[in-house]
Amino acid sequence: MELALYFPNLGYYTRDNIEIGKEGDFFTASHLGKVFGILLVRYIKILWEKLEYPQNFSITEIGPGMGYLCEDIMEELLNEHNITTSNFQYNLVEINPYLKKRQQERLAKYLDYIRWYSSIDELFNLNGVVICNEIFDAFPVRIFEVKKGKLFEVYVTIDEKGDFIEKLMPARKETFEFIQESAQHVLEIDGYRSEINLRMKDFIEKLSKAVKRGFLLIFDYGWNNEEYYNPQRNKGTLLCYYKHTINENPYINVGLQDITSHVNFSVLQKWANDSGFKIIEYMSQSKFLVSLCDEQLLERLKKQELIDKFKRLILPQGMGETHKVLIFFKS
Ligand SMILES: C[S@@+](CC[C@H](N)C(=O)[O-])C[C@H]1O[C@@H](n2cnc3c(N)ncnc32)[C@H](O)[C@@H]1O
């Protein structure tokens, strides 16, 4: 998964010509008109006030994709809320130089206010809001499998014909310790297979070091630990997206299809807490976005013909219930 998604220049997220949205393989909330950005600005303004309008307030977006959300947030802040850009800065963390170029073209109007970084390691002293929209589901995971009460990890190799094949090897120490702590019950279920996303721990620790005082907003799809390692969910959550179709085979279209797994929000919360963040909210995307809505806004969405897009963000058959929001604070 690491190689397929992130191998320099050839991985799904590191290659040239990657497209997200209609021309690509999947949609995210940022691609549903301006609604997500309009609503997020309402929330950002609340958080800005809570932070008592610090001098160096920043909005930092990790993995901004095609740059739509940044464009919508900037436009909304400047045009609808008359915020002058001299009192805030927008940081974008983009690992792919090709996407950075696309973002620079899209955001040409706002270049004076935006700063690009190629890794979260470069961020420091942030006062403000950090946004991660569908980032954690894109981290490489380890797949484990239980066989006769023993824990194995799934490795990948090639056979004599050069085809990818899976090979089970004894689980590494970290995998074993994780399962002991978070999902011991699965050791009794023969054939049980799922994922663990250890990369989240390192990532959230780095984010915590980068934030001096502020809020972290995480939007992603997933469940709490109990739901995640439900005995019935015995095939895990790994899915691949290719040209708006879903498959469960990461060994095809390598480097050309997205590979994702659902996020374990309990574990993410624990690691965030251990690294200095305090949880403020955990709720469905639907509940979060609806709480930011009022009649005036609904009227505006109707006028701008954005109601259908709003529905896709909040209805259960859209992203409303699959996607959750986690909000953390650090000071
Ligand atoms: C599913 S896409 C979401 C893109 C965008 N946020 C959106 O909503 O359209 C996942 C993004 O996470 C980014 N990503 C994954 N690991 C990252 C890391 N360590 N640092 C920064 N970005 C990362 C990928 O490059 C990719 O752009």
- Look at residue 32 in the predicted model and tell me its pLDDT: 86
Q: Give the span between the Cα atoms of 12 and 63, in whole angstroms.
A: 13
C-alpha dihedral (145, 151, 156, 162), degrees to nearest 10 = -80
The domain boundary, picked from 151, 169, 188, lies at: 188
Calculate how far, in angstroms, residue 72's C-alpha sits from the geometric centre of ligand 1.
18
Q: Name residue 169's beta-bridge partners.
A: 153
Q: Give the span between the Cα atoms of 201 and 175, in whole angstroms.
A: 13
- Look at residue 81 in the predicted model and tell me its pLDDT: 80
- 3-state DSSP percent of the chain in helix, strand and coil, to 5: 40, 25, 35
Calculate how far, in angstroms, residue 263's C-alpha sits from the geometric centre of ligand 1.
14
- Look at residue 85 in the predicted model and tell me its pLDDT: 61
Considering the domain architecture, whether residues 110 and 175 belong to the same structural domain is answered as no
Calculate how far, in angstroms, residue 99's C-alpha sits from the geometric centre of ligand 1.
11
Calculate how far, in angstroms, residue 94's C-alpha sits from the geometric centre of ligand 1.
8
> Does the Cβ of 134 fall within 6 Å of ligand 1?
yes
Q: Give the span between the Cα atoms of 223 and 194, in whole angstroms.
A: 13
> Does the Cβ of 123 fall within 6 Å of ligand 1?
no
Give the number of the atom of ligand 1 that is nearest the alpha carbon of residue 133. Answer: 6
Considering the domain architecture, whether residues 48 and 81 belong to the same structural domain is answered as yes
Considering the domain architecture, whether residues 256 and 308 belong to the same structural domain is answered as yes
Calculate how far, in angstroms, residue 84's C-alpha sits from the geometric centre of ligand 1.
28
Calculate how far, in angstroms, residue 241's C-alpha sits from the geometric centre of ligand 1.
15
The domain boundary, picked from 188, 223, 243, lies at: 188
Considering the domain architecture, whether residues 96 and 207 belong to the same structural domain is answered as yes
Residue nearest atom 23 in ligand 1 by C-alpha distance: 63
Pocket probe for ligand 1: among 1, 72, 91, 135, the residue whose CB has the most ligand atoms within 8 Å is 135
User: Cα 132 from chain centroid?
Assistant: 5
Q: Name residue 126's beta-bridge partners.
A: 211
Considering the domain architecture, whether residues 152 and 136 belong to the same structural domain is answered as no
- Look at residue 6 in the predicted model and tell me its pLDDT: 98
Considering the domain architecture, whether residues 184 and 212 belong to the same structural domain is answered as no
CATH number of the domain bearing residue 221: 3.40.50.12710
Considering the domain architecture, whether residues 122 and 153 belong to the same structural domain is answered as no
Residue nearest atom 1 in ligand 1 by C-alpha distance: 134
Calculate how far, in angstroms, residue 5's C-alpha sits from the geometric centre of ligand 1.
10
Considering the domain architecture, whether residues 130 and 55 belong to the same structural domain is answered as yes
Considering the domain architecture, whether residues 171 and 111 belong to the same structural domain is answered as no
> Does the Cβ of 222 fall within 6 Å of ligand 1?
no
Considering the domain architecture, whether residues 36 and 164 belong to the same structural domain is answered as no
Residue nearest atom 22 in ligand 1 by C-alpha distance: 63
Give the number of the atom of ligand 1 that is nearest the alpha carbon of residue 30. Answer: 8
Counting the structural domains of the chain, the total is 2
Instruction: Please list the alpha-helical segments (H only) found in the chain.
Output: 2-6, 35-50, 68-75, 97-106, 173-182, 199-210, 225-228, 265-274, 285-291, 295-303, 307-314
Considering the domain architecture, whether residues 148 and 137 belong to the same structural domain is answered as no
Considering the domain architecture, whether residues 39 and 66 belong to the same structural domain is answered as yes
Q: Provide the pairing of β-strand 245-247 with 239-242.
A: antiparallel
- Look at residue 330 in the predicted model and tell me its pLDDT: 98
Residue 191: CB atoms within 10 Å: 10
Domain that holds residue 162: 143-188
Q: What is the pLDDT along the chain (331 residues), one digit of tens a residue?
A: 999 999 999 999 999 999 999 899 998 999 988 999 999 999 999 999 999 999 899 999 999 999 999 999 999 999 888 787 678 999 999 999 999 999 999 999 999 899 999 999 999 999 999 999 999 999 999 999 999 999 999 999 999 999 999 999 999 999 999 999 999 999 999 999 999 999 999 999 999 999 999 999 999 999 999 999 999 999 999 999 999 999 999 999 999 999 999 999 999 999 999 999 999 999 999 999 999 999 999 999 999 999 999 999 999 888 999 999 999 999 9
